[in-house]
Amino acid sequence: MPFIAEILKYRSVSIVGIEKNTGKTESLNYILSKLHDKNKCIAITSIGVDGESIDQVTNTAKPEITIFENMIFVTSEKHYFTKRLTAEILNVSANRTSLGRLVTAKAKTVGKTLLSGPADTATLQKIIKQNAAFGADITIVDGALSRMSLASPSVTDAMILATGAAYSANIRQLMQKTKFVCELISIDAVDEKIRTLLGDTEKGLWSIDSNGVLHDLNIESAFMLTSAEAIKHEYLQNCKMLFVAGVVSDKLLDFLRMQGNMDGFTLIAKDFTKIFVSPEIYNSFRKKGGCIKVLHKTKLIAVTVNPVSPQGYVLDTKILQQAMRENLDVPVYDVRDNQ
Amino acid sequence: MTDNSDNITALRKSANDNLGFFYLLNKLDLKSSLSKRYLYSQKFITDKHKLENEFDKIETTISFLNDKKNDKIFSDTENKLSQILDINGTLQNLANSIILSDVELFEIKKFAILADEIKQLLLTFDLIDLPDLSEAINILDPENTRIQTFYIYDAYSCELAVLRKSVKVKNENLSPELYQKIIEIEDEIRKQLTEKLHAYTQDLKTALSKVAYLDILIAKSKQAKTEHFCKPFIVDTNTFYQGLFNPQIKDLLHAQDRKYQHVDISFGQYPTLITGINMGGKTVLLKTVALAQYLCQYGFYIPANDARIALVDKIMICMDDEQNHLQGLSSFAAEMKNVNEILSETNTNKRLLVLIDELARTTNPAEGSAIVNAMIDMLAERNICSFITTHYDKITSTCRRLRVHGLLDNITVIKDEKKIEQYIDYSLVEEKTANVPHEAIRIAEMLGVNSELIEKAKNKMNDN
């Protein structure tokens, strides 16, 4: 499949599901098996929270990933001990996740394991770097789109989006949702100057004035932005750029839009995974002149579709792929169809 | 107030955490995450030879650091130290013969290899004596690669090697029986490895604490070098500091582009009364004397040009601290409680260093000075090495008196009270009389305080 060659151009690629059961694991297993044939050293890890919450709340098993010989994988101690393959430990992290320390190991045989990885972006970045030092040509990240997740898959160089019938049995609806997520992924990044200015700002709301000076609005999260208080705020009144370190919600966009003229106003989100808005509200914000940018942008390589839903109905993969291709600017594949 | 505590952790929990000691500890450039735990468990040392040995070690380390041709060895050592994690929990499991997991075996192997590499690096330097861990490494390195990775190697069991090979041939279709068989063999190997390693538990523990010690030693030496600390000489009776300073306050002043004046001071087994104008640095002096004593007896170099230090068994400090207020005691009650504790300690045979800041300051001068006089008499009778600062007149008890030199003579107006140090000479002078400096009104006047108040106060003074 052509996008395998595309993947190999990057040092790190995340695979992100639009919803649970949209075939992310299948895509992942497919990509790993194909990459294995390419004679490259592949590393893989996961973003922690997603899998953990599923495991602990609904108690459904997280699907296992097939690891091939010589592949490097990073998982928590708890899952490392349940692996069904022989592997050589390369490193153990100093810090703990809720499932124990992170174990980096190299597979000596083929076999299956559960993956769980760093729960925050900084550790994820460190792991990607570490894997490269252990000789990995590329790190694949089993990503998550979740409000719960502190680690963002957008720190990877590129991304693959998995979508499927699990989200909706209505092809049109599924296509529109996927299209909207693709639109969010393709939101432009801020320029280098502003990225440097905002750096590693972890929380709060910040305004940037026309002189390029950063002001802390002393509002911890966008959820606390109540109209009366904020309008009075000297910086917000004349603010042309607002950075939200946390989640950008419908409520925030509504609030900003209602303040009036949005011409020349830019809202900066950390990355697209922090934007949880409905297409309608997003569009009316844009129509009013508002602009959204992100601090970290990642390249979307491909969309994979899974026509089978967990409830059992199956969409016609040809029609599904067709609908996606007509509306998306990126390659679309059904990983089963292509196997 | 609290006594000096057994170890650094206890000291941190006491009220004496504001002397500038923890400021220095936090600035130590420790490489391994393991070392902080060891640092905080260091004991207050009262044994002269132990301390002298430690100071010699720092001296050796500094000379080793000063020699450019050691730079490479030194940075390699630090690099290895930075990779060492605290595997105390794993070693505890090993000591208890709990069968170790692959991760724990990996931890031990990685640590042992790093410790061995450090040992080899420092072979020609007489800094630490690490136990030989090569036997322990061999157990975990059957292929003899000396690489810091681990798994249950094929080399441990022919049967395992054969089974694994068959898995590889069959590829993914690992039968439950085969899987079970492999697990069983691996478990047996872990058991054997744990049993074999058990014999080296003590060596590994010793190596872990010695590696931490090395990290701390290098960090202390680097700090002593960059901050211009001196090697203390331990003497029997009279302590003497030349150019003593408090690094925290010095850094603070320097950050504001201000000057810090070092002071000379000597003292013995008797009370010393310290007088001096307001803002004369009396409290800082007491804190710095305490700091230097703590540094010395925890095995650090001293922030001074020259230090000759008589060891003590206990440092007792009585200063106004907020903790007492939080406990709901009035300042006077809290202070008297502390004084009482000090006096009961003076009845033991312990060598003490007692530091009391402005004794009885919160009460009336008549009774206050009576308490100070009584205290001086008692400390003198018992030959206690002690300092009391005061503003009180009429301290007539016989004792040694030091006065902060005070305002420079040619000063008439203080233009910049935020840089008060440029108007004051902080050096100490021997005072023969019981007079205290009468400069409060003068300073208030210089600070530009309401002139009517100043005039009236002057008249009141003349009336007396």
pLDDT-based confidence at residue B170 (cuts at 50, 70, 90) = low
Overall average pLDDT of the B227-255 stretch: 93
Hey, are the CB atoms on B152 and A86 less than 8 Å from each other? Answer: yes
Full residue range of the structural domain in which residue B58 is found: 31-218
Q: Check CB contact of B167 with chain A, cutoff 8 Å.
A: yes
pLDDT-based confidence at residue B83 (cuts at 50, 70, 90) = very high
Give A94→chain B minimum CA distance, Å. Answer: 7
pLDDT-based confidence at residue B24 (cuts at 50, 70, 90) = very high
CATH number at residue B257: 3.40.50.300
Instruction: Report the pLDDT value the prediction gives residue B464, as an integer from 0 to 100.
Output: 67
Instruction: Report the pLDDT value the prediction gives residue A245, as an integer from 0 to 100.
Output: 85
Q: Please list every residue in chain B whose beta carbon sits closer than 8 Å to the beta carbon of residue A80.
A: 102-103
Q: Check CB contact of A81 with chain B, cutoff 8 Å.
A: yes
User: So where are chain A's domains?
Assistant: 2-186+297-334, 192-294
Hey, are the CB atoms on B149 and A108 less than 8 Å from each other? Answer: no
The 10s digit of each residue's pLDDT in B355-366 is 998 888 888 888
**B213 and B253 share a domain?**
no
**B186 and B313 share a domain?**
no
Instruction: Report the pLDDT value the prediction gives residue A72, as an integer from 0 to 100.
Output: 95
pLDDT above 90 (res B100): yes
Give A88→chain B minimum CA distance, Å. Answer: 4
ipTM tops 0.85:
no
Overall average pLDDT of the B73-87 stretch: 93
**B313 and B422 share a domain?**
yes
**B193 and B277 share a domain?**
no
Hey, are the CB atoms on B174 and A87 less than 8 Å from each other? Answer: no
**B253 and B135 share a domain?**
no
Look at the pTM and tell me if it is higher than 0.90. no
Hey, are the CB atoms on B103 and A69 less than 8 Å from each other? Answer: no
Give A60→chain B minimum CA distance, Å. Answer: 22
CATH number at residue B63: 1.10.1420
Residue of chain A minimizing CA distance to B104: A92
Hey, are the CB atoms on A89 and B150 less than 8 Å from each other? Answer: yes
Overall average pLDDT of the B176-186 stretch: 88
Instruction: Report the pLDDT value the prediction gives residue B3, as an integer from 0 to 100.
Output: 43
Hey, are the CB atoms on A89 and B85 less than 8 Å from each other? Answer: no
**B209 and B259 share a domain?**
no
Assigned domain for B63 exists: yes
Assigned domain for B229 exists: no
pLDDT-based confidence at residue A155 (cuts at 50, 70, 90) = confident
Overall average pLDDT of the B250-272 stretch: 89
**Looking at domain A192-294, which CATH architecture does it have?**
3-Layer(aba) Sandwich (3.40)
**B41 and B105 share a domain?**
yes
Hey, are the CB atoms on B103 and A101 less than 8 Å from each other? Answer: yes
Instruction: Report the pLDDT value the prediction gives residue B136, as an integer from 0 to 100.
Output: 95
Overall average pLDDT of the A136-146 stretch: 85
- Nearest-by-Cβ selection for A88 from B85, B150, B171: B150
Overall average pLDDT of the A43-65 stretch: 61
Taking one residue from A and the other from B, the number of pairs with CB-CB distance under 8 angstroms is: 45
User: Which of B411 and B333 is assigned the larger pLDDT?
Assistant: B333
**B127 and B275 share a domain?**
no
Instruction: Report the pLDDT value the prediction gives residue A58, as an integer from 0 to 100.
Output: 42
Q: Check CB contact of A36 with chain B, cutoff 8 Å.
A: no
Percentage of chain B modeled with pLDDT above 70: 95
Overall average pLDDT of the A52-75 stretch: 69
Instruction: Report the pLDDT value the prediction gives residue A338, as an integer from 0 to 100.
Output: 57
Assigned domain for B242 exists: yes
Q: Check CB contact of A95 with chain B, cutoff 8 Å.
A: no
Q: Please list every residue in chain A whose beta carbon sits closer than 8 Å to the beta carbon of residue B147.
A: none
Instruction: Report the pLDDT value the prediction gives residue A56, as an integer from 0 to 100.
Output: 45
pLDDT above 90 (res B324): no
pLDDT-based confidence at residue A230 (cuts at 50, 70, 90) = low
Most B CBs within 10 A among A86, A102, A134, hence the mutation to make, goes to: A86
Hey, are the CB atoms on B151 and A111 less than 8 Å from each other? Answer: no
Instruction: Report the pLDDT value the prediction gives residue B4, as an integer from 0 to 100.
Output: 44
pLDDT-based confidence at residue A52 (cuts at 50, 70, 90) = very low
pLDDT-based confidence at residue B289 (cuts at 50, 70, 90) = very high
Mean per-residue pLDDT over chain A, rounded: 83
pLDDT above 70 (res B338): yes
Instruction: Report the pLDDT value the prediction gives residue B11, as an integer from 0 to 100.
Output: 79
Assigned domain for B11 exists: no
**B58 and B98 share a domain?**
yes
Q: Please list every residue in chain A whose beta carbon sits closer than 8 Å to the beta carbon of residue B81.
A: none
Residue of chain A minimizing CA distance to B110: A91
Overall average pLDDT of the B207-234 stretch: 95
3-state secondary structure chain B: CCECCCEHHHHHHCCHHHCCHHHHHHHCCCCCCCHHHHHHCCECCCCHHHHHHHHHHHHHHHHHHHCHHHHHHHHHHHHHHHCCCCCHHHHHHHHCCCCCCHHHHHHHHHHHHHHHHHHHHCCCCCCCCCCCCHHHHHHHCCCCCCCCCECCCHHHCHHHHHHHHHHHHHCCCCCHHHHHHHHHHHHHHHHHHHHHHHCCHHHHHHHHHHHHHHHHHHHHHHHHHHCCCECCEEECCCEEEEEECCHHHHHHHHHCCCCCCCEEEEECCCEEEEECCCCCCHHHHHHHHHHHHHHHHCCCCECCCEEEEECCCEEEEECCCHHHHHCCCCHHHHHHHHHHHHHHHHCCCCCEEEEECCCCCCCCHHHHHHHHHHHHHHHHHCCCEEEEECCCCCCCCCCEEEEEEEECCCCCCCCCHHHHHHHEEEEEEECCCCCCCCCHHHHHHHCCCCHHHHHHHHHHHHHC
Give B175→chain A minimum CA distance, Å. Answer: 11
**B434 and B392 share a domain?**
yes
Hey, are the CB atoms on B103 and A80 less than 8 Å from each other? Answer: yes
Give A189→chain B minimum CA distance, Å. Answer: 36
pLDDT-based confidence at residue A221 (cuts at 50, 70, 90) = low
Overall average pLDDT of the B314-340 stretch: 76
Hey, are the CB atoms on A108 and B151 less than 8 Å from each other? Answer: yes
Q: Please list every residue in chain B whose beta carbon sits closer than 8 Å to the beta carbon of residue A106.
A: 149
Residue of chain B minimizing CA distance to A111: B172
Assigned domain for B163 exists: yes
Assigned domain for B258 exists: yes
The 10s digit of each residue's pLDDT in B103-137 is 999 999 999 999 999 999 998 888 889 999 999 99
Hey, are the CB atoms on A101 and B167 less than 8 Å from each other? Answer: no
**B289 and B321 share a domain?**
yes
Instruction: Report the pLDDT value the prediction gives residue B327, as an integer from 0 to 100.
Output: 62
Overall average pLDDT of the A112-136 stretch: 89
Quickly name the fold that domain A2-186+297-334 has. Rossmann fold (3.40.50)
The 10s digit of each residue's pLDDT in B378-395 is 999 999 999 998 887 777
Percentage of chain A modeled with pLDDT above 70: 87
In the listed set B169, B190, B218, which residue is the last one of a domain according to the structure? B218
pLDDT-based confidence at residue A1 (cuts at 50, 70, 90) = low
Instruction: Report the pLDDT value the prediction gives residue B90, as an integer from 0 to 100.
Output: 94
Instruction: Report the pLDDT value the prediction gives residue B419, as an integer from 0 to 100.
Output: 74
Hey, are the CB atoms on B106 and A80 less than 8 Å from each other? Answer: no
Instruction: Report the pLDDT value the prediction gives residue A135, as an integer from 0 to 100.
Output: 93
Instruction: Report the pLDDT value the prediction gives residue B54, as an integer from 0 to 100.
Output: 95
Instruction: Report the pLDDT value the prediction gives residue A50, as an integer from 0 to 100.
Output: 45
The 10s digit of each residue's pLDDT in A156-173 is 999 999 888 888 888 999
Q: Please list every residue in chain B whose beta carbon sits closer than 8 Å to the beta carbon of residue A109.
A: 164, 167-168
Tally of domains within chain B: 2
Instruction: Report the pLDDT value the prediction gives residue A51, as an integer from 0 to 100.
Output: 43
Q: Please list every residue in chain B whose beta carbon sits closer than 8 Å to the beta carbon of residue A77.
A: 103
**B450 and B304 share a domain?**
yes
Instruction: Report the pLDDT value the prediction gives residue A268, as an integer from 0 to 100.
Output: 92
Assigned domain for B226 exists: no
